[in-house]
Amino acid sequence: MKKTYHGSCHCGAVRFEADLDLSAETSRCNCSFCRKARFWKAIAKTDEFRITNGSELLSEYTVTGFITHCFCRRCGIKPFGRGHMEALGGTFYGINLACLDDASDEELAAAPVVFQDGRHDDWQHSPAETRYL
């Protein structure tokens, strides 16, 4: 069941809300960005995501045409990224679960994790080794 979570960057300048079902699926990826940033995400569709404060403080970084990484200019934290993929229904947001202010430790611990082989652009399959993710 979806629940509205509130999140922010480290300094609190960028704030957002996202309607997520953490019991459905979260994911970790081994692409160069996610691996280095230790990015753990849940997907929200466009109508399930709202920036509530600090949109003017966001900087964007795009490695490929697939994902735009959004960072707070003050503290450098990436609270979310934005992408477009027809298989996900068009535009979506990858929410950084570490930035959810009101997700309990128990909710995060119980969230199922799907591993994605982004290093080889094989998002539908897990990499052979996942323990480091």
CB 114 within 8 A of CB 122: no
C-alpha distance from residue 87 to each of 30, 46, 56, 90, 120 (Å): 20, 14, 30, 7, 18
Q: Burial-class residue 16 by CB neighbours within 10 Å (0-12, 13-18, 19+).
A: buried
Model-level pTM? 0.92
What is the DSSP secondary-structure string of 59-71? EEEESSSSEEEEE
Between 28-32, 77-81, 104-108, the lowest mean confidence (pLDDT) is in 28-32
Q: Please give the pLDDT value at position 89.
A: 84
Q: Please give the pLDDT value at position 47.
A: 96
CB atoms within 10 A of CB 78: 21
Return the percentage of the chain with pLDDT > 90, whole number: 76
Tokens, residue 38: 């230790």
| Domains contained in the chain, CATH given | 3-115 (2.170.150.70)
pLDDT tens digits along 45-98: 999 999 999 999 999 998 766 789 999 999 999 999 999 988 778 899 999 999
Cα–Cα distance measured from residue 133 to residue 27, given in angstroms and rounded to the nearest whole number: 10
Tokens, residue 12: 């609190």
For the chain, the average pLDDT equals 94
